[in-house]
């Protein structure tokens, strides 16, 4: 069975999507529609901007979303997923690709999410750190010992957990991780404490937009980040999508559940190849490939 997976923030690169725009009429029309919906030419920043331009959350998130969903659209009848999943932002791409959201509705939600997250980051600064070579349970226990906001944010693969919280909380937690035998506890260059309680203002702001959006039953199960389980009910999908902002991304559990349910081939649609690497670290027996 074939699973399609969609990357999240961090996979962007200058020139992303340009070959699609130049060589495919469907892609070109969708990119131009996106420029119209967003009110600025995001294609100029994607194709010819600077790395600094692409690092702005309000640009990064819609750019990665566009690259991913337009790739899926250009596959036409070849795109026949048995299941889909996306990492953080990529969950929106997965939902559009699977027909749970329209392209335009998905783009508006991603743009609203990006702006809400940026505002939350500016209101209460925070950061994230990657912890290597400690069990998930140990990372959780050590975060709980810190007298500040800090917790697991991304369960990427066995032995790789990203933690998120206040700068002080992350510093204290990193020290504990290294003392406990972590190979590394490395602070990341990110704009804020994503997937932590510090994103509550963004969640509050996005709630109305998600509630008012038209969600449909997807063509296949969507394995969502909040619980690592398959969902097809629009109401559940909405609730999980909103919860995702302040909850950890359980990517390890998503992939394990998909494999348990029969996935033996994973195709990554979008910039980069990070998810292919994570899937292989979770289970070497499955086939992986990508399109970008």
Same structural domain for residues 209 and 95? yes
245 and 159 belong to one structural domain: no
For the chain, give the number of residues: 292
In contact, 118 and 110? CB cutoff 8 Å: no
The verdict on residue 154 lying in a domain is yes
Q: Is 243 a catalytic residue?
A: no
Tell me the pLDDT tens digit for each residue of 132-151. Answer: 999 999 999 999 999 999 99
Same domain, yes or no: 104 and 140: no
User: Of 271, 266, 267, 270, which is closest to residue 283 (Cα–Cα)?
Assistant: 266
**136-258-262 Cα angle (round to 5):** 135
Kindly state whether residue 162 falls inside one of the protein's structural domains: yes
**Which of 166, 187, 208 finishes a domain?**
187
* One domain for residues 100 and 220: yes
Beta strands in the chain (DSSP E): 2-6, 83-86, 127-132, 150-157, 160-165, 184-187, 222-223, 230-231, 265-269, 287-291
Q: Is the pLDDT of residue 221 over 90?
A: yes
Query: pLDDT at residue 55 above 90?
Result: no
In a domain, 192, yes or no: no
What is the structure's pLDDT at 57? Answer: 86
173 domain-assigned: yes
Shared domain for 40 and 104, answered yes or no, is: yes
| pTM as predicted | 0.96
Domain extent at residue 287? 2-122+197-291
- Domain boundary, last residue among 157, 187, 217: 187
pLDDT digits (tens, 9 = 90+) for 151-161: 999 999 999 99
Q: Domain holding 176: CATH number?
A: 3.30.70.250
Residue 249: inside a domain, yes or no? Answer: yes
Count other C-beta atoms under 10 Å from residue 141's C-beta.
13
CATH number at residue 256: 3.40.366.10
Say if residue 74 is in the same domain as residue 176.
no
Read off the tokens for 203.
Answer: 């969640």
Shared domain for 108 and 18, answered yes or no, is yes
CA distance 197 to 264: 35
- Examine the pLDDT at 286 and tell me if it is beyond 90: yes
pLDDT mean over 162-180: 96
Write down which residue in 187, 207, 225 finishes a domain.
187
Single out the catalytic residue among 67, 87, 195, 231.
195
Residues 95 and 23 in one domain: yes
141 and 24 housed in the same domain: no
Give tens-digit pLDDT for 59-114: 999 999 999 999 999 999 999 999 999 999 999 999 999 999 999 999 999 999 99
The answer on 279 and 251 residing in a single domain is: yes
Verify that 155 and 228 share a domain, yes or no.
no
- Residue 217 counted as domain residue: yes
> Is the domain of 13 the same as that of 91?
yes
Q: Rounded to an integer, what distance in angstroms lies between the CA atom of residue 269 and that of residue 234?
A: 23
Of the candidates 67, 68, 87, 88, the residue annotated as catalytic is: 88
How many domains are there within the chain?
A: 2
Is 195 a catalytic site residue? yes
What is the pairing mode between strands 222-223 and 83-86? parallel
Give me the pLDDT at residue 11, please.
87
């Amino acid at each position: 069975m074939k699973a399609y997976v969609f990357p999240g923030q961090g996979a962007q690169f200058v020139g992303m999507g340009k070959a699609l725009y130049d060589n495919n009429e469907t892609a070109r029309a969708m990119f131009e529609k996106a420029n119209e919906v967003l009110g600025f030419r995001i294609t100029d920043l994607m194709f010819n901007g600077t790395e600094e331009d692409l690092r702005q959350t309000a640009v990064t998130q819609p750019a990665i979303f566009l690259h991913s969903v337009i790739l899926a659209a250009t596959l036409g009848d070849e795109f026949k997923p048995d299941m889909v999943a996306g990492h953080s932002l990529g969950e929106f791409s997965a939902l559009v690709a699977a027909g749970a959201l329209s392209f335009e509705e998905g783009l508006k939600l991603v743009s609203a999410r990006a702006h809400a997250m940026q505002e939350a980051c500016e209101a209460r600064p925070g950061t994230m750190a990657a912890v290597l070579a400690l069990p998930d349970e140990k990372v959780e226990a050590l975060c709980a010992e810190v007298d500040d906001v800090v917790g697991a944010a991304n369960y990427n693969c066995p032995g790789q957990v990203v933690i998120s919280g206040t700068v002080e909380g992350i510093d204290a937690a990193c020290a504990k991780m290294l003392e406990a035998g972590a190979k590394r506890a490395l602070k990341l260059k990110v704009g804020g404490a994503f997937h932590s309680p510090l994103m509550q203002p963004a969640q509050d702001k996005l709630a109305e937009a998600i509630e008012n959006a038209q969600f449909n039953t997807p063509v296949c199960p969507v394995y969502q980040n909040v619980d690592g389980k398959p969902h097809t009910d629009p109401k559940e999908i909405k609730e999980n999508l909103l919860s995702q902002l302040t909850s950890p991304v359980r990517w390890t559990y998503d992939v394990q559940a998909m494999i348990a349910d029969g996935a033996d081939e994973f195709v990554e649609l979008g910039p980069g190849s990070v998810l292919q690497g994570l899937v292989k670290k979770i289970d070497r027996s499955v086939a992986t490939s990508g399109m970008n």
